[in-house]
A and B are shown apart, each in its own frame.
Chain A
């Protein structure tokens, strides 16, 4: 799976309250949640983001609550993938389970806000098209790739149980 998009940079320890504040958790609609994505820390973000863009962040992205509304809000505002130095564990599995692609890379500091990057989920390669540089990362283990490629956990289970 190849994804190409413009980068929006964020810092370390971006928590789930930053991604989507609790007051908006009265909805489960990705598009509705997406309207308020990153509102607390970057009120202009939803104006700047275009469909297909990529979030690039530091350590421990998505720490805090288990709210799946966080990856849903990211998807809902048009972002198609996230690259971070590391991900908080619950966010990690939520992103896999809802089919939001992401990669872990230690080289995110080299990527600038506004860069155009292309990522290959199968090989783990990140190409920075603006800087003409490549960063090799670890691709997901097969089991997790299968879930993402099925379009999320429920579709994966449906296939396994012969429902799809």
Chain B
């Protein structure tokens, strides 16, 4: 019987000869990640457990990125719990402000996560690393505490659903649009408890940054993981890192619960309207939606190609009067690259702020909270009621080019319309 890539990775990590969807397994994890919101709970649970030594000094990753650089005293104290624990347990992969970035951009960039890995993270967007051909899944803090004890986690093997993208991508359309289109088609619980496997010639044509954007939002359809089989681009991306990758591929006779096949030729940039990521419309269907704030960045779209795309639209232009433009690169490396390439200057000349890496604005944490009645277009991943601040605010989700174009006109705008 054939297996999907997800099943093969889980089978290997559980040390089993066979595996099937619905089965409960105990699996060994390669990476256990937590941040300044989730790690304090995980560390507290670990300390209460009576165990004193973590299972590995190299497989645990701690990234203070959500409310860091610390936004207030309480978050400073939370960040300090991570720093202290890292010191006490001699955890290698702790990233202090200055080295840290948004975790899901940082870990692939630093070669900490590899194809073939089983990665668990106390953050729902851990599914991002599926773009490398890894099984990466979001969990809670207690799951992490358990992994700290013995390096294991319990899992119910999910069934897989395949999404095949064919056709030709239009200009200004990328990975973000494909995943928004997918979530719009199947709904916020359209892949509940399932693995989403993305494939087809369109996926193969995309670079790694776009692939990360797609897998990042698998959770927004309720999925446990989103995977893309590795190819030459994946191999090139991970070449040169210390850890060695393991490449897994789905068998031709692998079983899928459902297969979606879409021709995306002519697909417009997609926009998710308030207050669900599944409330998706093509950008031209949105007329006269004024925006107060434009947010470009996050674990979904804060990578260098996202910033290049936004800068291409914004070059030599100004954000409309009264529009707050906030650009936040996902990591220090991306930040430096954007400075070197002159992208940072384009953003600042356009009247935007170019921020230090942080998850802040995306989850209404800091660095750009929305006031009552304000409207934002953001390249982030969630537009739930009150997500970016006031319960009376509105968030639209889009790709970086649409966000940049909207900053210039002050209304939600197709980038092709910017002269």
Contacts and interface: CB of A to CB of B under 8 A. Distances in A.
A26 B386 contact: no
B225 to A, nearest CB: 10
Interface in A87-131: 88-90, 93-94, 97-98
B41 interface: yes
Interface residues of A, number: 40
B200 interface: no
B385 A66 contact: no
A98 B141 CA distance: 10
A90 B384 contact: no
A21 interface: yes
Q: By DSSP majority rule, is chain B's interface helix, strand, loop, or mixed?
A: loop
B188 interface: yes
A42 B365 CA distance: 21
B419 interface: no
Interface residues of B, number: 51
B74 interface: yes
Contacts of A64: 124, 219, 382, 384
Contact of A89 (B50, B51, B224): B224
B140 A97 contact: yes
Nearest to B35: A66
A89 to B, nearest CB: 5
Contacts of A60: 188-189, 192, 222
Interface stretch (A2-10, A46-54, A151-159): A151-159
B67 interface: yes
A68 B391 CA distance: 22
Interface in B80-107: none
Nearest to A59: B189
A67 B38 contact: yes
A97 B51 contact: no
B386 A21 contact: yes
B40 interface: yes
Given A17-B385, A93-B143, A143-B24, A28 B124 contact: no
B364 interface: yes
B122 A27 contact: no
Nearest to B364: A22
A93 B149 CA distance: 18
A17 B387 contact: yes
A154 B192 CA distance: 26
A74 interface: no
A27 B74 contact: yes
Contact of B364 (A21, A143, A157): A21
Nearest to B44: A28
Contacts of A143: 24, 154
Contacts of B41: 28, 68-69
B222 A40 contact: no
A88 B143 CA distance: 16
Given A15-B384, A67-B38, A90-B124, A157 B149 contact: yes
A154 to B, nearest CB: 5
Contacts of B193: 89
Interface of A: 13, 15, 17-18, 21-23, 25-28, 40-41, 59-60, 63-69, 86, 88-90, 93-94, 97-98, 141, 143, 152-154, 157-158, 161, 163-164
7 contacts: A15-B382, A40-B386, A41-B391, A63-B189, A65-B123, A88-B192, A157-B49
Given A15-B384, A22-B365, 14 more contacts: A17-B363, A17-B384, A22-B387, A60-B188, A64-B124, A67-B140, A89-B192, A93-B154, A98-B142, A152-B142, A153-B154, A154-B142, A154-B145, A161-B149
The 4 closest A-B CB pairs, nearest first, are: A26-B74, A94-B140, A68-B140, A97-B142
